[in-house]
Every structure is written in structure tokens, then in C-alpha cells.
Amino acid sequence: MTRRPLFRPRPAPVARQQGGESGAFAPDALAVGARHLEVGGEHVASFAVVGYPREVHPGWLQPLLTYPGRIDVSVHIDPIDPVTASNRLKRQLARFESGRRSNDEHGRLPDPHVEAATEDAYDLSARVARGEGRLFRLGLYLTVHAASREELGSEVGAVRALAASLLLDAKPATYRSLQGWVTCLPMGLDLLSMRRTFDTQALAAAFPFTSPDLPPADPTSVAAPTGVLYGYNIGSQGLVHWDRFALDNHNSVILGRSGAGKSYLVKLELLRSLYRGIEICVIDPEDEYARLAHAVGGTYVHLGAEGVRLNPLDLPIHVRPDGRRTAPRDALIRRSLFLHTVLGVLLDTALTPGERATLDRAITATYQHAGITADPRTWTRQAPLLADLAHALRQADDAEASGLAARLHPYVDGAFSGLFSGPTSTHPDGHLVVFSLRDLPDELKPIGTLLTLDAVWRRVSNPAIRRPRLVVVDEAWLLMKDPAGADFLFRMAKASRKQWAGLTIATQDTADVLTTDLGKAVVANAATQILLRQASQAIDEITAAFNLSDGERQFLLSAAQGQGLLSAGTQRVAFEAIASPAEHQLITTNPAELAAYDDETGATPAADDGRDPFVDLGPAEDIPAS
């Protein structure tokens, strides 16, 4: 008896002429192994993804698509009709609840994975019932190509490691390598049929053409991206450019625990904003910006240093680019009203109506004695000092005036008179102005903060010069403790957009931002929100305030120094700040690096340049020289 062969060998394919059938594109040989194929002159191995992360972000397949080697990614999608989806969810929920009750009856501890799956199933069932989403069966398969079997082994290891970093469990198609290869071909055939149920949102995030990068302001433009380079995208390794002045408001809030890299990121953004011609004012409670201001030719106002004085009675006179001197029409009235606030802060008490009336008469007499009247032509004369106001109060035949003069003694002739003992000695002007408040005595910090904020606000709202500006408040929790500082932040957050300005708030005390009306107003009026590494004690408040997902929450708890989450409306991206060596040398706050830098260069903070700090707000008119 003749036994017929189980497989009859096929004749070798015949080469076809150009324009013939598509068989010319078939491989000349195919060798099937347990876990790989030899297709023509190359080796391939296929994998099926059987495990997925609980949460996925838009463009989560991007790392696989941008893998430097040759890899085929195949996604097979089948919709599930709503009736079948609802029935499956009901059965799944019944199994989960049955398991829960069984564990309770036998005294077993609940399985956290089952608890999480139960919550997800309830949420998904509710969304499907409301018509907010649908269910799909998704299969994700990978095929790796290599020139040799040894190279294939290394490529497979690299791809599986990449998949594991994305929390994907890729299993080899053992003894089904041929079916896996065919599944990844563009023929729409799923011969492995290893599917997983996805809802609409998860499926949309898996769409191959989505990207984890921030969208450009103008997708049709071929020009280079605008804005500031923050760093690189952790999800795609792309660059993160962000232009705050292209949004509906230009404010930014940066929250992070101590040591997370807040000041580093703020100074990096500040330095790169200067490249774009943006004028910047910095309120520095910790004296961290002196080296940066000196390096870029900025103005450094060191309040509390010997010889640095601010005269609260200076009128708001500023010079236009054409050289004309202007001021608001009601500049004298505004300064008189501001002095009521100054006296209230200096005396640390609210003035009574009688004291206000007495003070108002003394202010008018003080300006008149200096030759300054309601006539704008007199406003360029030398402004009186706080000592002149105290003298006018002493000259008044009034018990309340004598009491006010006596309470002003420490600031006129006593221990705290240094800040007000003469005309204004500094004139912060230029592309970068830094006000350092660290060395002010505690008794002078409130008034020093008030005068600084007044100068900054009048400079930002100066109608004579229109250009984009940023106001940076580092360690804002120190400023929020002072009522005048808190009022300034609230005012800036509300009104800076109208002045073509942006407010940057950086703080490590999230309670001041998220549990107070002022903090909520600052966050609500900040189109750019940056979250750096958070402490476990504050993460619940951060999660609730910014509506973070579980994945984003875990990222912020484990983020390295300089890593954070940039949120702008519906767009969120995880990034890591990067700086060049030259930039790093200017912005680092590492004490060891600063000590080494000072030892090598002998660098010292820049001194102030002895010019006047005041400009003003509101409609202005020309002032002829007196």
C-alpha cells in the first residue's frame, strides 16, 4: 500500500512580469517556529497585549508608534451593541457582588483589585445607561522585525520592556506565530482573538493619531512653536512649548512641596521670557534672584540694606518713550488716599474717622509746604518726606494729631527710620526688576511689602508704555500672610489681563491657595496651572481641586525633582524641566552648588542702581517742567 504524504510540496512560485498579479509581493519562503517566523530574509515575532493599565491618557500608544526599530502595531476594534453591553455589565456586577458577599461571610479581606474593578464597572454601567458611551472589543497586537535571530531576541526584549513601562502585558503568540503575523498585516483579520473591553473614552485615547503633546496655537502654521520651552514631554519625549500670552488670561499658578523645583522652574521661565522681550517684576521674599538679576543686567532693589530708601509721599510721575513727563490727572488725590493706607499699615491699626480727617489735613499741609498743589506744573518738585508729615501733625493743635505724630516717631526718628529717612534712592526700571524683602525687619515687612506692591502695580498698569509683562511672586505663602499682600494678589489675578500682564504665583503651602477665597480666586483666574511633586498630606486637596485622575495623582506623589503636570483647560501634559548648563548656573538654589560657584568666581549680588521706583496707573496727562 502506498502512503500518500500528509503535505504535498508546492511548486516554486513563478516570477511574474511587471503589471502582473500581486503574487510577486509574497515572500519566497516562510519558516514557522514556536515563537517566531522566518519571512523571506527577516525574522519576526508577534505578541498580543493581554494586560492594560487601569487608566490611559491621550496618545498612550505613541511610545510604541515612535519606537526606533521596526515594529507593526495592529489595533482591531469591534463595537458591542448597547443591549449586549448592558447584559454583560449586569452579569459582571453580579459576579463582583457575589464575590464580595462570599468574602464577607468567610471573613476574608477584600481584594483591592476586585474593589477597583467593581467601582469601574459601576461607573461604566451608569455611563452606558445614560448613553454617554459605548463598549467595544479591542485587540492590540505587536509584530517585531529583525534581520537575524540574535537581533530579534534583543529587539523583542526592548519592545517588551517598553510595553512594561506603559503597564502593558505583552505575551508572545507561542505556537501561533503565523496567526500573529497575519493579524498584524493590513488585511483586517484577527486570528488571535485576544480582545479586551474598552469604553468610548479609553478607545478614543488609543486612537493611533492622537498625541500626548500639547496642540499648537495654530495647527496650520509651519512656523517654529512660540512661547517658552518648559522641558520635554515625559509621555512622548517631545518638547513642551507653552505661550501664556496666547490664552484668555496670562496668569499661572505653580504648586509643589518644598524641594520639588518650584523656584527653579519659575526662574527658568523668567529667563526664557526675557529672550522674548517680556518685561518682568519679581517680588522675592527669600532673596533668591540676585545672581540672575545681575547676570542679565536687571535692577536689584535690596530693601533693608543700608541707604536703600522708599518715600511713600512720592507722586507718580513717569516718563514716556518720547521724553514727555506724565501723570494721572488725580495723582495728588490718589497719593493722599494711599497715604491713609500707609499710615494704617505703619501703625498696625485701623484709623478712626477723626484720625482720618486730621491726617487728611496734615497731608494737604505737607504737600503745600513743599510747594506741591493741585496744579500739575508743581508735581515735579521735590516730594516731602514722612518726617515732614510727622512735623505737620505735631504743628496741628489737635490731640489726635499729636497722638499720630507720637506713634510715627519710630519710623521718623527712631530705629525704623532708615527706610524713610530721605528721598527715594532707587528707581527700579528696565526689563527685569527684583525686589528683595528678606532683609527687612519684621516690623517693616508689612510697609515694605505695601510700597513694593504699589510700585509694581503702578508699573504694570502704566498706560504710557504697552508691552507684555509678568509679575512673579515666589513663595507666595509669605505674602498671603499680610493683608496688603493678599489684596494685591487678588487685584492682580482679576485685573492683570486688561493690562497685558500675567501673574505667576509659586507656593508650597497649598492650604493658602485651596482653602481660602483668595486662593480660589487666584486659581480660577489662572489659565496655566502647574503641579509639581506633592506631599501625601496635601494630595487629597489637590486631587479634588484640579480633578486629577488616579494616574495623575500617583504621578504627582512619585514625581522626581523638576517633573510636573502642566494643565491648561482640557489639555494636560506631564513634563520635566530642562535647562542648559549656563541657565542652570544662574537659577539653581542648591546650597552646595552656590557655595562652589561663589568660591570659584567670588560673585556677589548686584547692588541697586540708585533710581526711583515709581510709575503710575490710569489716564495720564502731560506735565510741563516747573
HEC letters along 394-420: HHCCCHHHHHHHHHCHHHHCCCCHHHH
Sheet holding 318-319, edge to edge: 318-319, 325-328, 620-622
Question: What pLDDT, on the 0 to 100 scale, is given for residue 208?
Answer: 64
- Mean predicted confidence (pLDDT) in 570-590: 86
Look up residue 143 and give its three cell numbers: 509584530
Where does the pLDDT of residue 95 fall: very low under 50, low under 70, confident under 90, or very high at 90 and above? confident
- Short-list 225, 218, 295, 228, CA closest to 470: 228
- What whole-number distance in Å separates Cα of residue 163 and Cα of residue 165? 5
pLDDT above 50 for 625? no
212: pLDDT confidence band, cut at 50, 70 and 90? low
Please state which of the ranges 170-184, 456-470, 532-546 shows the lowest mean pLDDT: 456-470
Is pLDDT at 608 greater than 80 in this prediction? no
49 φψ region: left (φ > 0), alpha (ψ -120 to 50), beta (else): beta
State the chain's maximal CA–CA distance in angstroms.
139
pLDDT of residue 99: 80
Average pLDDT, the chain: 79
Q: What is the pLDDT of residue 218?
A: 56
What are the pLDDT digits (tens) for 13-38?
A: 443 444 444 455 677 788 888 888 98
Q: Mark 19-43 as b/e (b = at least 16 C-beta within 10 Å).
A: eeeeeeeeeeeeeeeebbbbbeeeb
- Write out the three cell numbers for 118: 467593581
- Give the Cα separation of 295 and 57 in Å (integer): 41
Average pLDDT over every residue of 293-300: 90
Q: Name the more confident of 621 and 23.
A: 23
Look at residue 323 and tell me whether its pLDDT is greater than 60: no
Structural domains in the chain? 28-205 (no CATH), 229-308+426-606 (3.40.50.300), 309-423 (1.10.8.730)
- Percent of the chain as helix, strand, coil, to the nearest 5: 40, 20, 40
Radius of gyration of the chain (CA): 34
In 437-539, beta strands by DSSP E: 469-473, 501-507, 528-532
pLDDT at 408 over 90: no
Q: Residue 278's CB: how many other CB atoms inside 10 A?
A: 21
Low-confidence winner among 43-57, 379-393, 556-570, 589-603 (lowest mean pLDDT) = 589-603
Average pLDDT of span 371-381: 82
pLDDT-wise least confident of 63-72, 211-220, 404-413, 425-434: 211-220
Average of per-residue pLDDT across 190-208: 83
% of the chain surpassing 90 pLDDT: 12
- Which residue in 269, 309, 259, 275 sits closest to 289, CA to CA? 269
Residue 307: predicted pLDDT: 81
Which amino acid does the sequence have at 51? G
Q: Which of 201-215, 476-490, 599-613 has the least mean pLDDT?
A: 599-613
The more confidently predicted of residues 100 and 242 is: 242
Give the Cα separation of 526 and 509 in Å (integer): 17
Confidence category of residue 325, pLDDT binned at 50, 70, 90 = low
Between 509 and 259, whose confidence is greater? 259
Q: State how far the Cα of 96 lies from the Cα of 414, in Å rounded to an integer.
A: 76
